Structure 1
């Protein structure tokens, strides 16, 4: 009896470590692949981008006495405009601003997330109907809360670095300098700015995993869709393709529904702005820029999220698949 309990504990511990490793690897692979789009998306979400003349065409207006003055058109820039400006003014390396903190944060963040999700799902399966939507919703919410609380300071530093726009030759702040600056200006609490918006973003996580789990279950039920006569290896490849498509569809749906929280979060993480709380930010953005501002950068997000999520989820599932056969 004692031996059985000991074996169960060892197996449970091994499974947790496998989920931690798989989640970390999946998150790292996705972050490296899509970092440039992450930078573009963050710039589009910020308030400062609207007031940076380099991003907009300039209009020369004639005065009464024949002189002229220059006015920048107050239009929101597009994805390609931001991308072009970063390349021209700041250089290609700026498209990977914040990658350091991203890599430092994404592995533990995704590892905590997937391990929490797996553990919570196992627990909630004993309370609710196994593998039901209630189980997936509660598990995703718990995993999101755990991950956000643990890693918010890393994401704040990443956002600050991505928002820093300096031309070629100008010295750019590194992660260590950013940490010191945040602490000097706002203290320890400054590292947790934007966390309320991140908590609101748990809704995106819930939607994503509910749809993903539903599609995954459907794939299992419809295994006969695998082309007849395929070998075991080809069948596994077909299954992973299905998981990749499922991850892309579920994340796209979730991003479209819950995207405004990302804009609010970026505004809250900006340095020295008027955005001091979640509700105040919602009111200010709606009043000053209109409700469409809550979807600035959505196109960059969708283009980024599909390959990012697909890469992350398939890497995660692949490592779990390989671990089961060791």
Structure 2
């Protein structure tokens, strides 16, 4: 009996320790949570940026012959040799400026909704995770979409934009405000299921892996779960990402059909007619290669910042 009591006591302590880390303490400020999210967003997008640039180029419909690549390694080598190594980072300024505030909103919304739905209580709560992730992406994408348009315009082969402001001014002058949000419905159609899948997979894998290791913050758990969840969600939503790329870069095309694409269905029709089903999966390998480590970095950075702030608050109390 004594042995059973010790086992039950250990299990109860495990759940309490897990709850203490996974849930937000009462004195954990929203500002600290937003700082953690901003830190995670900038880290995520910056590290894997060259592969993201390659993904954009591979997804462009009817690219110039100089922008057709046979693989990730070949593409990186070709771009570095022909355009210079610095070109692999063209458009990064838009990500840095936009990702910090957007991810601050993203993770703040995620934590608030998750808390409201009881997702921080001990146990498995996939519905709370999926809902909080969907709400988070709707809020953050409204802010980030214009920056993403600017980023992809600067990433494409032959871009003449010298800076974030130069690109934004050119798009505004030639195409108006609509150009910055033409892809927003498509972005939501992609990022809502992407985030719901990612958050559900992340929360589920984190719970399972934590039970096999130790309670509380474990960087290996969050890094591994984040990478697997991100790669899975990226592969599943690639077709919508291809459509988004066409809409966000349509203003640079020399073809009237592409320049006049008005939304998701029109863009999907163009891709289908020109590439069939395979056209919707262009750049999938690069997208997964980008998303898996990026998501691992994002979650690791967010969780380590979150754990740091929790520890600071605990020391004060």
Q: Which range, TM-score by smaller chain?
A: 0.7 to 0.9
Shift of 1:12: 5.9
1:97/1:161 contact within 8 Å kept: yes
Q: Which residue of 2 aligns with 1:60?
A: none
Deviations 1:45-90 (A, max 9, x none): 11142xx12245xxxxxxxxxxxxxxxxxxx743233323311221
Deviates more, 1:26-35 or 1:209-218: 26-35
> In structure 2, how many angstroms separate the alpha carbons of the residues matched to 1:30 and 1:132?
25
Query: Is 1:250 equivalent to 2:229 in the alignment?
Result: yes
> In structure 2, how many angstroms separate the alpha carbons of the residues matched to 1:46 and 1:173?
21
- Superposed, 1:2-17 pairs within 5 Å as 14-17=28-31
Query: Is 1:321 equivalent to 2:307 in the alignment?
Result: yes
Q: Which residue of 1 aligns with 2:144?
A: 151
Query: Is 1:34 equivalent to 2:34 in the alignment?
Result: no
1:30/1:311 contact within 8 Å kept: yes
Task: Could you tell me which runs of 5 or more consecutive residues in structure 1 were left unpaired when the two chains were aligned.
Answer: 1-10, 57-75, 227-234
Shift of 1:254: 0.8
Q: CA RMSD in A?
A: 2.3
Q: Which residue of 2 aligns with 1:240?
A: 219
Query: Is 1:200 equivalent to 2:214 in the alignment?
Result: no
Q: Which residue of 1 aligns with 2:35?
A: 21
Query: Is 1:101 equivalent to 2:72 in the alignment?
Result: no
Q: Which residue of 1 aligns with 2:297?
A: 311
SS at match of 1:103: helix
- Aligned counterpart for 1:219 among listed residues 190, 209, 220: 209
Task: Could you tell me which runs of 5 or more consecutive residues in structure 2 were left unpaired when the two chains were aligned.
Answer: 1-24, 252-258, 313-317
**In structure 2, do the counterparts of structure 1 residues 164 and 177 end up closer, same or farther at CA, with 3 Å as the change threshold?**
farther
TM-score by length of 1: 0.80
- Aligned counterpart for 1:54 among listed residues 66, 70, 76: 66
Shift of 1:196: 1.4
**In structure 2, do the counterparts of structure 1 residues 47 and 157 end up closer, same or farther at CA, with 3 Å as the change threshold?**
same
> In structure 1, how many angstroms separate the alpha carbons of the residues matched to 2:115 and 2:101?
21
User: How many residue pairs are counted as aligned between the two chains?
Assistant: 279
**In structure 2, do the counterparts of structure 1 residues 236 and 125 end up closer, same or farther at CA, with 3 Å as the change threshold?**
closer
TM-score by length of 2: 0.82
Deviations 1:1-42 (A, max 9, x none): xxxxxxxxxx76843112211111111112221111111111
SS at match of 2:152: helix
> In structure 1, how many angstroms separate the alpha carbons of the residues matched to 2:206 and 2:170?
45
SS at match of 1:290: helix
Query: Is 1:298 equivalent to 2:284 in the alignment?
Result: yes
SS at match of 2:261: coil
Deviations 1:267-306 (A, max 9, x none): 0011432432101111211121111111111111122222
Query: Is 1:283 equivalent to 2:272 in the alignment?
Result: no
